[in-house]
C-alpha cells in the first residue's frame, strides 16, 4: 500500500498493515459493497499497471474484461449472501484480469469478507499465473514429443547399453599398463556418441522449427502493433530463434573435418571479432584492450571456424562480466620445447571466474554454469574441438571472483602442411 492509499478516504486502518502489504508480491485489493476499490497495494500496481492513486475509488470492473463485468457483480453478491467467510486459491475456477494497457492475463484468487466499523468489505489476493501457464503448456508439448522419441529409441538404446556394459567389463579386466589407454578410448567413444545424438536431434528439429518460424513470421506481419496478442506471438518468435540457435550449435558440435583452409592473420580476425562484439561489451561497461606482437606471421587454418572460436570466447567473457570489467586479447609468437614455431592467443577477463571444483568440466559437451535458457554448454566444447582439429591446445586458468584466462596454442605451419591439414 502506498502513501496515497493511507490518505485515501475509507474506514480501513491501512497504516497498521502498510509495511506488510508493500512487500507482498501478490496483488491485494479491497472493495466496498458498492464495488469501489478502497485498497490497492504495490503488488497490484505491478500486476495491473495502475497506480493506487489512480484506481482508489474506481469500480472494480476496471480490473476485469468488460465481458465479465455483469457476472462479476453477481458472484460478489452471491458470496456476500452466503455463509462462507473466505475462499482460498484452488477452490474456485481461475479468473481473468485486465491490465491498464488492455492486455488480459489468467489469475488465481483468494477472497474473504470482513467488517470494519460496521461496514462490509471484500478483500482479494490475486496472483498472475501467465508465466506458469506458458511453461506448463510448453512442458506438456515437450513431454509428448520426448515420450514419442523415447518409445522409438528404447529398444536401440537397450541394445547399445548392453554392448557398452560388456565392453566396459572387458576393459576393467585389462592390466594397469592398459588403463590410461582405456580411459582415452572411453572418452573418444563418449564424444562420438554425443556427436551422433546431437546430429540426429538437430536434423529432426530443423524442419518443424522452420515451419513454426515461417508461420509465426506470417502471423506477426498481419498483426497490428497494438494487438494484445502480438506480445505472445513475439515471445513464441524469440523462443523459436533460441531453439534454432541451439540446433545450430548441436550441428556444429557433431561436424568433423575442415572445409576451407587458408592463410589467416590472427590479429586481424581478433580485431574483426572485437568490432562485432564491442557494442554489446561496451553497453555492459566492459573495457577492451589488445596487445599484438609486431610482425606476426599468418597461420594456416579454417577461417570461419577460427572466427567461431574467437566469437565464443568474447561472448563468454561478456557474459561473465554483467556489471562491467576489463577484457584483454593478446597474441604473441613463441617456440615450443622442440623448436617448432607456435602462436599463443590469450583472452582474459575480470569476471566472476570459474570455481576450482568444476574447472576441469567446462569444456565437456552440454556442461554449463549459466542459468537455464542462457546457454547450451556447447560453446567451449566446440572451441576445444576446433583447436584440436588445428593440432593446437586450449587451456583455461580461472579463480572464482577474480576472472578467467583462456590460452590457445596453435602451430605456425609451413605452406607444405596445408594439404595435410585440409585432408584430415
Where residue 55 sits, what CATH number does that domain have? 3.30.450.20
DSSP E strand boundaries for 136-199: none
- Whether 416 and 273 map to the same domain: the answer is yes
- 403-411 and 341-349 as β-strands: parallel, antiparallel, unpaired? antiparallel
Question: Which residues, including other chains, have CB under 8 Å from residue 256's CB and lie 6 or more apart?
Answer: 195, 389
309 lies in the same domain as 417: yes
Could you list the beta-strand ranges (E) of 201-316.
Answer: 262-264, 286-292, 299-301
Task: Mark whether 201 and 349 lie in a shared domain.
Answer: no
CA 280 to chain centroid: 17
pTM of the predicted protein model: 0.41
Distance of alpha carbon 279 from the chain centroid? 21
Per-residue confidence band for 153, with pLDDT thresholds at 50, 70 and 90: confident
Residue 73: name the closest of 109, 39, 122, 8 by CA. 122
**What is the model's pLDDT at position 107?**
87
Mean per-residue pLDDT over the chain, rounded: 76
Convert 97-112 to b/e letters by CB count within 10 Å (16 or more is b).
bbeeeebebebbbbbb
Domain co-membership, 110 together with 156: no
Contact in structure between 111 and 87 (CB atoms under 8 Å): yes
Nearest to 217 by CA among 240, 246, 198, 247: 240
Last residue of some domain: 128, 147, 165?
128
Tell me: the pLDDT tens digits for 209-219?
667 777 777 78
**Spatial contact of 106 and 130, defined as CB atoms under 8 Å apart:** yes
Same domain assignment for residues 46 and 147: no
pLDDT at 273 over 70: yes
Domain of 312, CATH number, reads 3.30.565.10
Percent of the chain with pLDDT over 70: 68
pLDDT higher at 2 or 73: 73
Is residue 279 very low, low, confident or very high in pLDDT (cuts 50, 70, 90)? confident
β-sheet bridge partners, residue 409 = 344, 393
Which letter, b or e, does each residue of 240-258 get, where b requires 16 or more Cβ atoms within 10 Å of its Cβ?
beeebebbebbbbbbbeeb
| DSSP assigned state of 219 | H
Is 332 in the same domain as 237? no
Q: How many domains does the chain divide into?
A: 3
Q: Within this chain, do residues 316 and 241 fall inside the same structural domain, yes or no?
A: no
Grid cell 547399453 — which residue?
161
Q: Of residues 150 and 169, which shows the higher confidence score?
A: 150
* Domain boundary residue, one of 254, 283, 298: 254
pLDDT in tens, 401-413: 888 999 999 998 7
Predicted confidence band of residue 184 (pLDDT cuts 50, 70, 90):
very low
- As a whole number of angstroms, the longest Cα–Cα distance in the chain is 97
Is pLDDT at 369 greater than 70 in this prediction? no
pLDDT band at 378 (very low <50, low <70, confident <90, very high): low
Residue-level pLDDT at 331 = 93
Position 56 pLDDT exceeds 90: yes
Q: Exposed, middle or buried: residue 365 (CB in 10 Å: 0-12, 13-18, 19+)?
A: buried
Q: pLDDT class for 289, splitting at 50, 70, 90? A: very high
- Which pLDDT score, from 0 to 100, does residue 307 have? 83
264 or 195, which is more confident: 264
CATH number for the domain including 152? 1.10.287.130
Question: CB atoms < 10 A from the CB of 411, how many?
Answer: 19
**What is the mean predicted confidence (pLDDT) over 366-370?**
56
- Which class for 376: exposed (0-12), middle (13-18), buried (19 or more C-beta within 10 A)? buried
Residue 407 Cα distances to 47, 107, 265, 415, 424, angstroms = 48, 52, 17, 25, 24
Q: What's the rounded mean pLDDT across residues 70-77?
A: 68
For the stretch 111-142, pLDDT in tens is: 888 888 888 888 888 888 888 888 988 898 88
Which residues, other chains included, contact 296 with Cβ-Cβ below 8 Å and sequence gap of 6+? 265, 266, 267, 331, 332, 333, 343
Based on the fold, state whether residues 46 and 153 are members of the same structural domain: no
Which of 58 and 195 is assigned the larger pLDDT? 58
Instruction: Determine the 3-state secondary structure of 291 from DSSP.
Output: strand
Q: Are residues 266 and 413 in the same domain?
A: yes
Distance (Å, rounded) from C-alpha 166 to C-alpha 268?
Answer: 51
> Rounded CA gap, 317 and 265, in Å?
22
- Tell me the pLDDT band of 189, cut-offs 50, 70 and 90: very low
Which residues form the domain of 85? 3-128
- Nearest-Å Rg of the Cα atoms of the chain is 30
Averaged pLDDT, 164-182: 58
H or E stretch at 185: helix 179-221
Give the model's confidence band at 172: pLDDT under 50 very low, under 70 low, under 90 confident, else very high.
low
246 or 75, greater pLDDT: 75
Whether residues 326 and 179 fall in one domain? no
Which percentage of the chain shows pLDDT scores above 90? 11
User: Which one has a higher pLDDT value, 286 or 220?
Assistant: 286
Q: Which of 5, 101, 1, 119 is nearest to 53 (CA)?
A: 5
Across the range 246-266, mean pLDDT stands at 64
CA dihedral 255, 256, 261, 265 (to 10 degrees): 70
- pLDDT for residue 181: 43
Does 242 share its domain with 384?
no
Domain boundary among 234, 254, 274: 254
Q: How far apart are CA 317 and CA 328, in angstroms?
A: 10
DSSP secondary structure letters along 374-393: S--S-HHHHHHHHHHHTT-E
More confident position, 236 or 361: 236
Residues 250 and 266 in one domain: no
For residue 125, give the C-alpha cell. Answer: 489476493
Band (pLDDT 50/70/90 cuts) for residue 57 is very high
Amino acid at each position: 500500500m502506498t502513501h496515497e492509499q493511507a490518505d485515501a478516504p475509507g474506514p480501513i486502518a491501512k497504516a497498521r498493515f502498510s509495511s506488510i502489504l508493500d512487500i507482498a508480491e501478490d496483488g491485494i485489493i479491497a472493495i466496498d459493497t458498492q464495488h469501489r476499490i478502497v485498497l490497492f497495494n504495490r503488488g497490484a500496481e505491478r500486476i495491473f499497471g495502475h497506480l493506487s492513486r489512480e484506481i482508489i475509488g474506481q469500480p472494480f470492473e476496471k480490473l476485469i474484461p468488460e465481458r465479465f463485468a455483469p457476472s462479476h457483480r453477481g458472484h460478489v453478491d452471491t458470496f456476500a449472501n452466503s455463509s462462507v467467510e473466505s475462499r482460498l486459491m484452488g477452490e474456485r475456477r481461475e479468473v481473468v484480469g485486465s491490465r491498464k494497457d488492455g492486455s488480459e492475463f489468467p489469475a488465481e484468487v483468494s477472497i474473504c469478507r470482513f467488517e470494519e466499523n460496521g461496514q462490509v468489505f471484500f478483500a482479494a489476493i490475486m496472483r498472475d499465473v501467465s508465466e506458469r501457464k506458458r511453461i506448463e503448456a510448453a512442458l506438456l508439448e515437450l513431454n509428448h514429443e520426448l515420450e514419442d522419441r523415447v518409445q522409438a529409441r528404447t529398444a536401440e538404446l537397450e541394445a547399445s547399453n548392453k554392448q557398452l556394459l560388456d565392453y566396459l567389463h572387458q576393459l576393467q579386466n585389462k592390466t594397469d599398463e592398459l588403463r590410461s589407454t582405456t580411459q582415452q578410448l572411453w572418452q573418444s567413444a563418449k564424444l562420438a556418441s554425443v556427436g551422433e545424438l546431437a546430429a540426429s536431434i538437430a536434423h529432426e528439429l530443423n524442419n518443424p522449427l522452420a515451419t513454426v518460424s515461417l508461420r509465426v513470421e506470417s502471423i506477426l506481419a498481419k498483426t497490428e502493433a497494438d494487438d494484445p496478442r502480438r506480445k505472445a506471438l513475439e515471445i513464441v518468435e524469440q523462443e523459436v530463434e533460441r531453439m534454432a540457435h541451439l540446433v545450430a550449435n548441436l550441428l556444429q558440435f557433431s561436424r568433423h573435418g575442415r572445409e576451407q583452409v587458408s592463410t589467416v592473420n590472427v590479429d586481424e580476425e581478433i580485431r574483426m571479432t572485437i568490432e562485432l562484439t564491442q557494442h554489446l561489451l561496451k553497453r555492459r561497461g566492459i573495457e577492451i584492450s589488445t596487445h599484438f606482437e609486431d610482425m606476426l606471421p599468418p597461420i594456416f587454418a579454417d577461417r570461419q571456424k577460427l572466427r567461431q572460436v574467437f566469437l565464443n570466447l568474447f561472448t563468454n567473457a561478456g557474459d561473465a562480466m554483467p556489471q562491467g570489467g576489463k577484457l584483454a586479447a593478446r597474441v604473441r609468437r613463441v617456440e615450443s620445447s622442440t623448436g617448432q614455431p607456435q602462436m599463443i592467443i590469450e583472452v582474459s577477463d575480470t569476471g566472476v571466474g570459474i570455481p576450482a571444483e568444476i574447472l576441469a568440466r567446462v569444456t565437456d559437451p552440454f556442461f554449463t554454469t549459466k542459468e537455464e535458457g542462457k546457454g547450451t554448454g556447447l560453446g567451449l566444447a566446440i572451441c576445444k574441438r576446433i583447436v584440436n582439429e588445428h593440432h593446437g591446445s586450449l587451456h583455461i586458468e580461472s579463480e572464482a571472483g577474480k576472472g578467467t584466462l583462456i590460452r590457445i596454442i596453435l602451430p605456425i605451419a609451413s605452406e607444405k602442411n596445408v594439404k595435410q591439414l585440409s585432408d584430415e
